[in-house]
């Protein structure tokens, strides 16, 4: 039988110390998780914003310069607007009438309005597309939307094109 004396007591942590240490660790882990999830949401949002900027910029570029870099609105000899969402123009390069228009939520390109079935999509998730003219200036307004973390994002683009007639 051993007798414990005050100077020889075994050392260790009390239950209270263990509970306090556990609470502190849980607070640190909760803070780290909160920072991680906030950063993740921000990263996802920035990816969607970059995608919208890229898609909108490419759509504007294709309308202004033309699909493949030629026969765009800037090369037009004449321009007509059957409605605010449609532009038809006669190319100054080859004389064909081309067009861009909004169909549902897509920007469609019609490389030859006299032929049927040759239209194709140049941009998706478009919320708005309008054209207006003032003398030899064509103004294009484009709205593209995306979704991230249950939030709808809208991005607007506008450019003016002086046709080279």
Using one digit for the tens of pLDDT, what is the confidence trace for 111-161? Answer: 999 999 999 999 999 999 999 999 889 999 999 999 988 889 999 999 999
The reported pLDDT for the residue numbered 14 is: 92
C-alpha span between 76 and 90 (Å, rounded):
5
pTM of the model: 0.79
**Residue 6 clears pLDDT 90, i.e. is over it:** no
What is the rounded CA–CA span in Å between residue 76 and residue 66?
10
At 45-78, the pLDDT tens digits run 999 999 999 999 999 999 999 988 888 999 999 9
pLDDT at position 92 is: 83
Distance CA 137, CA 53 (A): 24
Interatomic CA distance for residues 21 and 26, integer angstroms: 9
Structure tokens at 101: 């228009």
Cα–Cα distance for residue pair 63/79, rounded to 1 Å: 13
Task: Please state the rounded mean pLDDT for residues 36-43.
Answer: 93
| Amino acid 2: pLDDT | 53
- For residue 7, the model assigns a pLDDT of 58
């Amino acid at each position: 039988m051993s007798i414990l004396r005050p100077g020889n007591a075994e050392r260790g942590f009390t239950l209270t110390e263990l509970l306090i240490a556990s609470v502190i660790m849980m607070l640190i882990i909760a803070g780290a998780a909160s920072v991680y999830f906030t950063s993740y949401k921000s990263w996802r949002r920035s990816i969607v914003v970059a995608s919208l900027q890229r898609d909108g910029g490419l759509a504007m570029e294709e309308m202004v310069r033309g699909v493949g870099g030629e026969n765009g609105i800037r090369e037009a000899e004449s321009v007509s607007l059957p409605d605010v969402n449609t532009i038809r123009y006669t190319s100054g390069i080859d004389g064909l009438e081309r067009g861009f228009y909004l169909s549902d939520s897509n920007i469609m390109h019609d490389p030859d309005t006299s032929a049927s079935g040759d239209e194709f999509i140049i941009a998706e998730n478009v919320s708005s597309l309008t054209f207006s003219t003032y003398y030899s200036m064509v103004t294009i307004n484009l709205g593209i939307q995306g979704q991230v973390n249950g939030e709808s994002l809208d991005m607007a683009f506008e450019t003016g094109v002086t046709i080279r007639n």
